[in-house]
Amino acid sequence: MMHPRRILSLGMTAALLLPAAAWADPMNFKLLKNYSRATFKSDAPLETFVGNTAAEGIDGTLSVDPARPQEVRGNVKVDMNAVKTGIDKRDADMRSKAYLDTENEANRWVTFEIKGVEIAGALEPGKTVPAKVRGVLTVKQKPVERVVDATVTYIRLTPEQVEGQKRFGFTGDNIKVRAKFNTTFTDHGLQIPQLLFLKVSDDVQLETDLTFARN
């Protein structure tokens, strides 16, 4: 028979571990579209053109335990029909069958599936930390693995702050992710676009500024 003191000791240990176990459960976050953006840039001999998303053209989710952010999972997607470069004819060419072919629903969304993050330690409220995000970038149904340089900021709001910000979609737990990375047209099986009589660079630079709020 177990000694009463032993039973008491085990009970106290379990009680101390319960909050940690609860904290270890991943939190689910949704993208706040009005506070998020994604852009892409490509250079040509005569100009640099930049594509920008509209709020309705970006979406995403995260599942992350701030105590163990290395195990994050999530997905971000951009509707290429909602991306604008400032010239309607160029936008139409970009979406045409020769390039993205966005009339095909399977080609419409560019997606980045998050597989994990290299980051030092836990996320601390109010602190911005560097990270390397591992994931799969899919353009026109062609997936390519990428490691993305990013910064992550975990923002916790007090109940009073939430009351003032909830109409904008913010909650007690929020995460901001800023990232920059490169891909190429040819990596995704795309023809390199041509402006006038000159081809643009094969290299495409992508940048995101994403804000997530806990569900």
Instruction: Give pLDDT, residue 46.
Output: 67
- pLDDT tops 80 at residue 182: yes
> What's the average model confidence in pLDDT over 139-149?
96
DSSP lists the bridge partners of residue 77 as 59, 111
**Per-residue DSSP letter, 92:** H
Q: Which two tokens stand for residue 213?
A: 């709020």
User: Sorting pLDDT into bands at 50, 70 and 90, what band is 16?
Assistant: very low
- Residue with the bigger pLDDT between 84 and 194: it is 84
> Which own/partner contact pairs does 199-202 have at CB distance under 8 Å and 24+ positions apart?
199/44, 200/42, 200/43, 200/44, 200/49, 201/42, 201/43, 201/44
> What's this model's pTM, rounded to 2 decimal places?
0.83
27-214, CATH topology level? Lipocalin (2.40.128)
